[in-house]
Structures are given as structure tokens and as C-alpha cells.
Amino acid sequence: MMGDVSAPPVMADVAAADTPDVRKARGAFFTPDAITSFIAQWAIRSAADRVLEPSAGDAAFLTAAVERMRRLGDAAVFVPEVHGVEIHEPSAAVARHRVREAGGIAHVEVKDFFDVQPAPTYSTVIGNPPYVRYHGWVGTARTKSRAAALRAGVPLSGLASSWAAFTVHSAQFLRDGGRLGLVLPAELLSVNYAAPVRRFLFDHFARVELVLFDSQVFPEAEADVVLLLADGYNHGPTDHAVIRQAVDASGLATLADGQRWAPLDPAGKWTGSLVPPPAIEPLRRLREEGAFTNLQTWGETTLGMVTGGNHFFTLSPAKVAELGLPRGELRRLSPPGSAHLRGLTLSTAMLRRLGTEGKATSLFYPGDQPSPAARAYIEAGHKAGVDDAYKCRVRRPWYRVPLLPAADLLLTCMNADTPRLTTNQARALHLNSVHGVYLSDEHRELGRELLPLASLNSVTLLNAEMVGRAYGGGVLKIEPREADVWAMPSPALVASQADALRAIRAAVARKLQAGQLLEAVEIVDRALLVNPHQADAAELVQVQRARAELARRRMVRSQRVR
């Protein structure tokens, strides 16, 4: 990512050639002046500070640094010198010109930053690292970046985006006590591959501060960001971070004091930093007392089946009749998507009703000797090129989808409100649009009957926001590994309140059918937590407010700034 461009006339052709698509390919996006000025003011404490911008771009941060240093020194005679690295030579030329116009001198090296050997000589490193997702961060670039991070003792997985290694490598240029001020994707807080980076920051810096935004400040990148302000390099570790909040970039000018947040494990997700301590306390206590546990205690969560072509393999009853396929060549299926999984149970009667509505409730699964109707359908699929899809191409025969056993519970993985557990009473197979939960033998009977109901409590809803991650459109996504650590009422608590839960099942089901999730949650809270004195109503109000705020942030950040 890089700052706004004001190219000199002699470089107009160069700037024009650097199109948005070209910039996006190398992870370069415009940085608002409010952000560059804020970070420069925080990071640069003296006119004598030595400053590096490792992805200089068009010198958005370097010009802000020069302006800051001139204010700290004698602007009439002082000519600040700043340093940068930039892989794109035309941008480097523009950067030198802009810094000169701002009253400074820019030493910008045209080079891949990961080819620059770190020397711990800088007071501060500031910038906006390139953001290229893992599927675009490939080949030599990926290899060099991971090697650079590993030299600093930080192993990164193959799923890491470009910014992760960039952050670690940037820190290696700091002298003892130096400061790192970067604009980073909000992935820093939540993705699993960032765990080593999170630990590195807490281990190596004396102070870590994060500035979070309610709305997007990089609509072109379609990604949320945070500002990382890390001070006191090699004077760590620290046991906490300070969290500050801004509505958008313009809010940095009036930023309020932050709150102290101390994670149990610095490598774990930092989404808990958004939750006030009073809202976290009930979950901490309930876990400690054995009333709450992780979903993995109940069973294992797995991905669903991948067909390679749902349009071919998933069939509605009307399509089955049209094709004349025998029942033995079909498998009962939870239809693609998860909109139908908003209640407590997926029953056979519900599947029949979905089928009459035209939903695909059957999976095409012919045997070793397909019927004439099945052979005709297979041939039609071949002519349409279905067998050329990757998943079909690599299996034999291409038209038989590898099956998974019917799961005990189905878990929605993409959610506008909250992840839902549904008892798979119909014993339907499931696709990768949902996850399957396979309960352990000792908890299967109780879990199938009551866990979807018991999971609709305020504490579990809040924790879903903490372990999941926000995706485009404000959707909350939860992966199997994240679901494993999702807080659930323990088997012991559910068993002790089984009669109370059975008594409210019908009322909760009606609320869910009416789309009244929060009203359903209030009923479950009373039966599961308040009446048996596991938590009091005042505590749960704090939990509910925190969950509502996290959900609000998801939705607000999904609205693109124009």
C-alpha cells in the first residue's frame, strides 16, 4: 500500500502507466494523508531521528516524515534526510521528487525489500506494506519473504499474505528502542497465519498500541485495516496492548485515550481486544467452573463434501423425476447453502418441503453399474464439460462424489447474524457450504437433542464473534479449527438443565421461525444461565452489548467508503 500521488509534469506519462490494476497486483493502495501524518507524528520524536519507509511508493510517509522533522528542527536551515526502498522504479522517481518539494532529501533504493539485508540503524520504520493475498503471493517473492521472516525467528505458513513477512522484516531495521508504525490489514487480529507475527510483536516491543476503525479507509483494497504502533524494540516483552478506536481516518485528529488489553496468549486471536473486560469475565468464570467448554469437547467439526459441480450433482425432486433416476442412485442431501438451517432441527418432513419448493435435496450417486437413466445423465455431463472441473478430473470415476457420513449436527459457516447448530434429524449429507459436527459417543444423544438449543445463549454468541472472522458484506465466517475452540455450554451443564431446556424448546423454535434470534436467546439465557444462577442478568447485559457492538462493527466496516 502506498500514499496519494501528486506527480510532477515530467512524470505524467509514468504515473499514467501505473494503473489501479497494476498497483493492485503489487499490493499498492493509496494511504489517506490523515493516516500518514498521524503515524509520522507518533513515530518521529526528534529532528535527528533516522527514518525508513520500506515500501516507499510515492513517498506518502516520507513526505509526512519530512514535514514532521522540519517542525521539530529549524525549518529555515534544516534539510531532513529520509530513506526508503521501492520495487517500482517510476514510483521511486516520483518519491524523490515529492520529498524534494517537501523540503527534504530522499535516499530511495530501487529494490525488492526482501533483498535488502537489515541493518539495525533506524530510529523508526513507518509505512504501509504491500497487501497481496497468499494466492497472489507466489514464487520467488513468497520464498524470499518467508526466508526473511524465518531469519528473524518467525515461521510463516504458506497461507500468509505479503504484509506478515514485511512486518517482521521491517522491524529488523530498527535500533534498540526504535519504533514501528505500520498500516496493516485487520487480519492481524484474527487470522491463524498471523499468530507468529502477533507473538513476535509482544515478545520484541516494550509497548504495543493498535488503532482500530469503524469503517473502511481503503475502499479500493476492500480490506479493513488497523494501525500498529509498536515502541521500544528489543526492550520487550510486553504483556498487554493499548486499544484505541476511530470512526475513520479523519477521527485520528481527536483520538481518545485507549483501553488496556492483556491477552492470555499473545499468539492467539486479538479479536478479544475489542471486548470490554466486564463482558469477558462471565465466559472466563464459566470456563473455570466447568460450566462452559469448547465445541471440540462435544465432537469434531469438519468441512463438507465438494462435488466439483453442484449444478450437476445436486438435484431437486422435479429434476430427479424428469431424469427418471432410481432412488438407489440418489443420496439424501441438505441443499446447497445454509438459509434453511436457521431452526433447531433439519427433519425429513422439512427436507420434503424444501424439495417441493424446488431445492436440491438429492445427491446424484450412481453405483458401479449405472442405470440407463444414470448413464444418459453422465453422458450429458461429459458433453457439458462437467468432468473437466478440477475435483471431477482428479477422481475416478469422475461422476461419483466422495461421501462423508451424515453428521450429527450441521453448522452454518457464513452468517449475517451468528453461526447456528442444527440437529441433522434427517441424516442428510452436507456440502461444503456448511460444516458437519460429529459428536463423540458419550455426548451424542444429549448433544443431538439439546446442544443446538443450548448454544443459543449470549455467551456463546459473543464468543462466536471473537473466534470467527468478518468477511465481505459483514458476514461472520467460522472455520472448523475456529469452531473447535468456540465456547459452548458443557455437557454437565446441559445435562443438569435438560428438563428446563426441553420445556422452552417450542417457544424458542417459534421465535427462530419468526426471525427473532435475540428474543430466542433471552429465553435460553434464563433457562440455562440465570435461573440456575450460573450468571446474573446484569452480567449478561454486558455480554449482549459487547456482542451487539462486534456485530455492528462487522456491518459498518462492510459499507464501502465513497
Q: Within a domain: residue 320?
A: no
Q: Are residues 119 and 169 in the same domain?
A: yes
- Digit-coded pLDDT (tens) for 178-195: 999 999 998 899 888 999
Q: Is residue 475 part of a domain?
A: yes
Q: 5: pLDDT confidence band, cut at 50, 70 and 90?
A: very low
Task: Identify whether residues 69 and 173 lie together within a single domain.
Answer: yes
First to last CA, the chain: 18
**288 shares its domain with 197:** no
Residue that is last in its domain, among 272, 307, 329: 272
- Domains contained in the chain, number: 2
Which of 24-33, 348-357, 543-552 shows the lowest mean pLDDT across its residues? 24-33
What is the pLDDT of the chain when averaged over all its residues?
91
Where a domain ends, among 272, 306, 332? 272
Residue 310 pLDDT > 70, yes or no? yes
pLDDT at residue 425 in the model: 98
Q: What is the pTM of this model?
A: 0.79
Is 126 inside a domain boundary?
yes
**Percentage of the chain with pLDDT > 90?**
78
Query: Would residue 290 count as lying in a domain?
Result: yes
Distance between CA atoms of 422 and 59, rounded to whole angstroms? 53
Q: Give Cβ neighbours of residue 319 (< 8 Å, ≥ 6 apart).
A: 360
Residue 84 resides in a domain = yes
Percent helix, strand and coil across the chain, each rounded to 5?
Answer: 45, 20, 35
Domain range holding 294? 275-298+444-557
- Contacts with 349 (C-beta within 8 Å, 6 or more apart), sequence order: none
Q: Are residues 235 and 89 in the same domain?
A: yes
Q: Are 94 and 15 in contact (CB under 8 A)?
A: yes
Question: Do 117 and 35 belong to one domain?
Answer: yes
pLDDT for 196 beyond 80: yes
- As given in the structure block, the three cell numbers for residue 29 are 493502495
Q: How many CB atoms lie within 10 A of CB 73?
A: 15
Same domain for 146 and 286, yes or no, is: no
Quick one: pLDDT at residue 8?
40
One domain for residues 193 and 287 = no
pLDDT at 146 over 90: yes
> Residue 32: which CATH number?
3.40.50.150
| 230 and 196, same domain (yes or no) | yes
Residues 235, 284, single domain; the answer is no
Final residue before a domain boundary, out of 255, 272, 289: 272
173 and 280 in a single domain? The answer is no
In a domain, 17, yes or no: yes
**Residue 561: what pLDDT?**
36
CB distance 280 to 332 below 8 Å: no
Among 440, 419, 439, 422, residue whose Cα is nearest residue 430 = 422
Residues 181 and 206 in one domain: yes
The pLDDT value given to residue 218: 73
**211 domain residue, yes or no:** yes
Cis peptide before 237 (omega within 30 of 0): yes
Residue 4 maps to a domain: no
And the C-alpha cell for 279? Answer: 463482558
The three grid cell numbers given for residue 225, joined into one nine-digit string: 485495516
Does residue 73 sit in the same domain as residue 147?
yes
- In this predicted model, what pLDDT tens digit does every residue of 103-117 receive, in sequence order? 999 999 999 999 999
